[in-house]
Structure 1
């Protein structure tokens, strides 16, 4: 018995095959193009994503089930009859609805979104993007006039196109700001607030179950799991009980912590209640979520500026930490997420002098990302106490300097995953459970223990964050 996970991420689509003995392999990986039609806009070509998903599935050979994880908040419109995309995918990083969000804040609507969806008003979430499509896409308006409009996150588009089932799983729906976290259904008041017609949205279903069948080069294969990528990573880490958590460092950095059957509403801490997963026939499991918009994206930006040539060059440094030399970087290149929720904040180096060289600038970037992750983890500790080590994954988890600095910031052991594929592993494990054949898998981790007290540096970073806010 074997299953494959399709990990449809922000920059690439990859497939992982997991066998019943717990052995896995990457069967295919394809990067896709990022489109920036206007400042602050980020788009993907939905047809390119579909082609890449199909290529990944077909490259994986014969399997018993498929699981698909998705980008979360990224969304689009498509035709209910032809299944053709009517718009580009508006990516989670896209800020085109900032003015709409600001107007809603001024009208005091944030209390409503926090109470019902558990989410603040922010262009990060899908609701305002879907509302923008309704107002600005002639193709979407025309389809709506015919009663053939579909609106939703990318998972629903993929499933409708590939299996004929227009559904979204509860974890993805919880990222839209349109789902009521207590009823687990689309909320009429929230949909009206953002101008999104409820009858165009997909049905909300559990994370595992019958998502239809995909026709592949190796015959028909059922899809038995669909989930947001970060929740998939949480499952892949082996987090199952209250207080279990992880941080994934990808394009952005995302911390999740399981809260079990309890839904924690802590808007005062800037934390987001969300659904971790819901297995077929069972009640939802909840989590706390906190995101940093810019993590490895900041390093790619710095590399593009010529501050370093190879990623291997920034794993270790001979000089003292940048924060010890008075240099701070706030990684707000796309605004500040949790716990600040300020899309007008902007990235900045503070404390620059003629003595600083490129390597100190890079150190400051790595340290700034670590400080931002620490902000979120520290806030979570006020809700659900966790004394154990902090497991992490993603590309940056392989950077020794960064992980040691993160351990120092948190004042606790950090365990980088020895394998970089825990998002896909989590999706595959859920797909196997969905088809009735659970697979045992235990991830392995490294270990970094705190060596330096970074509390003074953390306070300096907090001061720098305050200066970066409301900049644009």
Structure 2
């Protein structure tokens, strides 16, 4: 073993749990990964086994250290990033989840959302969010209503609530034997229960959903030592926790207002730094916390979440069987010059930003005998780009500042055809950093800053290197024509009450 000092980062995502090890230059030394299952017991329901997620983390951390030729003594800090909004409730005494975790993709909580809709203005004013099934609090209320005796147990303090970083930190620090119960501000800001200004739980919003305070975690910043691990990495400080998309914003070094990034994974998530003042959206975006450190003003962000991105490629592969592997979609799409007038709107469980129509359903528009597998492949890739375009248009309206460039990361950025189309449609450069795993990198950077491994953000900037860039190469007439085709397709996917097309000036 060497005396090298490193930072470890755990990324607990939707389809996998991963651990990465980073050195002082921000280079990834090793990675270990375990896939994890999702279950779909009813239409619109998406669940995971929280105990399985914890087991996966216990396995990938030592595997990553072993792959780097290191052990626990080399690790100066641990950072955590996680899929947001996924909701877990567990027994405080035994540590056993009382029900499957309800994931961020689940839409079962429509009736709960309908009940609080009359108070939408309170949620918008305090939490910066409109009531929607996307957020954690309606899922928690659903569990309290539908799991036997859970509501009474919650009021007695017998069970605990958390999003996945809370669940991990509690287990890493001892679980039933003294585990700490905390959540970070970025995850808390996605519950519908946190006051965006005070960064504390809102008594008014808690009361509107009748959530017992006894089950709630304490809110902490993204860059401080919460406690030391008692298992997995004994003695190592847990020094950062961030929702995965805020972690990517930090890993992409979007430290200045108007800096923006988009992460392309199962879904796609575009965030823009808007500085230290909250920007209240009127165009279908989310006001959220981007990052907070002790003793400093929080950095706020606007976000446009897209539910279906990489999962549309998986559907094309697994459900339709058109391709055998995900990378083959680019080869197939290159067999044609355009989409042939075919558009796919992937509203498998409704549409998120900027439409927020949970009843919308997927649609294929423009099918003719001319359409081939190649055209369909292009339509699959272009669907994610056009959804990105809609969010960027909304952000430009909100911020008043046109996007200058888009930083990208995630698995889909290896698709050069799609990234070039992204640059063409957005009409700005699209850049990918050398370390594309920016979710884990952001968690590692935040943890390293908390323990002094890196002195400041300037040191982080010195580590940044661009691996690929794509520049616009589409004439404005083509862009307008294809944009009109996309908007027409979306109008057909929306439910009748939502069919007014957004005036985005395009």
Please give the residue correspondences for 1:163-312 in structure 2 after superposition, counting only pairs within 5 Å. Answer: 163=173, 164-216=179-231, 219-266=234-281, 268-304=282-318, 305-312=320-327
Query: Residues 387 and 76 (structure 1 numbering): CA distance in 2 closer, same or farther, change over 3 Å?
Result: closer
Match in the other structure for 2:34? 30
Residue from 488, 491, 494 that aligns with 1:466: 491
Mapping for residues 35-434 of structure 1, pairs under 5 Å:
35-59=39-63, 60=65, 61-62=71-72, 63-105=75-117, 108-138=118-148, 140-141=150-151, 143-144=153-154, 146-163=156-173, 164-216=179-231, 219-266=234-281, 268-304=282-318, 305-316=320-331, 317-322=334-339, 325-384=340-399, 385-434=401-450
TM-fit CA distance, 1:154: 1.5
- Cα distance between partner residues in 2 of 1:155 and 1:21: 26
Q: Distance in 2 between matches of 1:162 and 1:77?
A: 17
CA distance in structure 1 between the aligned counterparts of 2:244 and 2:110, rounded to whole angstroms: 25
Note if contact 2:27-2:435 (Cα within 8 Å) is conserved in structure 1: no
Matched residue of 2:81: which SS?
strand
Distance apart, 1:419 and its partner CA: 3.2
Matched, 1:435 2:451: yes
Q: Residue 481 of structure 2 aligns with which residue?
A: 456
Total equivalences in the alignment: 467
The two structures have a TM-score, normalised by structure 2, of: 0.89
| CA 159–217 in structure 1, closer or farther in 2 if over 3 Å, else same | closer
Any idea what SS the aligned residue of 1:26 has? strand
Q: Supply the distance in 2 between the matched residues of 1:348 and 1:399 (Cα, whole angstroms).
A: 24
CA distance 1:416–1:218, shift in 2 (3 Å): closer
Q: In the TM superposition, what is the alpha-carbon distance from 1:7 to its structure 2 partner?
A: 0.5
Distance 1:291 1:18 in 2: 28
1:251-307 Cα distance to aligned partner (Å, 9 max, x none): 1000001011111001x2111111011112222111111111000011101111112
Q: Could you tell me whether the CA contact under 8 Å between 1:298 and 1:365 is conserved in 2?
A: yes
Bigger Cα displacement from structure 2, 95-104 vs 2-11? 95-104
Secondary structure of the 2:34 match is strand
- SS of aligned partner of 1:242: coil
Tell me, in whole angstroms, the C-alpha distance in 2 between the residues paired with 1:172 and 1:217. 23
| Structure 1 partner of 2:504 | none
- The CA distance in 2 between the partners of 1:109 and 1:189, in whole Å, is 11
Cα RMSD over matched residues? 1.7
Aligned to 2:327, what secondary structure does the other structure show?
helix
3-state SS of paired residue (1:315): helix
Partner SS for 2:407 = strand
Cα drift, residue 471 of structure 1: 7.2
How many Å apart are 1:83 and its aligned residue? Answer: 2.6
Q: By how many angstroms is 1:103 displaced?
A: 4.3
TM-score (norm 1): 0.95
Q: Is the 8 A contact 2:284 2:354 kept in 1?
A: yes
> Structure 2 CA distance, aligned partners of 1:285 and 1:227?
13
Q: Matches of 1:78 and 1:209 in 2, distance apart?
A: 25
Report the CA distance between 1:395 and its aligned residue: 1.1
Mapped partners of 2:47, 2:403: distance in 1: 40
The CA distance in 2 between the partners of 1:295 and 1:171, in whole Å, is 22
Tell me, which stretches of 5 or more residues in structure 2 are unaligned?
Answer: 66-70, 174-178, 498-506
Contact 1:17/1:26 (CA < 8 Å) preserved in 2?
Answer: yes
CA distance in 2, matches of 1:321, 1:8: 37
Counterparts of 1:382 and 1:351, CA distance in 2: 30
Q: What is the alpha-carbon distance in structure 2 between the residues aligned to residue 309 and residue 452 of structure 1?
A: 31
Distance in 2, matches of 1:98 and 1:218, equals 40
SS in 1 for 2:235: strand
Deviation at 1:147, TM superposition (A): 2.5
SS at match of 1:406: helix
1:3 aligns with 2:25: no
Report the CA distance between 1:356 and its aligned residue: 1.3
CA separation of 1:471/1:66 partners in 2, compared to 1, >3 Å: closer, same or farther?
A: farther
Asked if the contact 2:228/2:234 (under 8 Å) is kept, the reply is no
Partner of 2:502: none
Q: Which aligned runs of 4 or more in structure 1 are off by greater than 4 angstroms?
A: none
Question: Displacement, 1:216?
Answer: 4.1
* Aligned equivalents of 2:25, 2:262: Cα separation in 1: 27
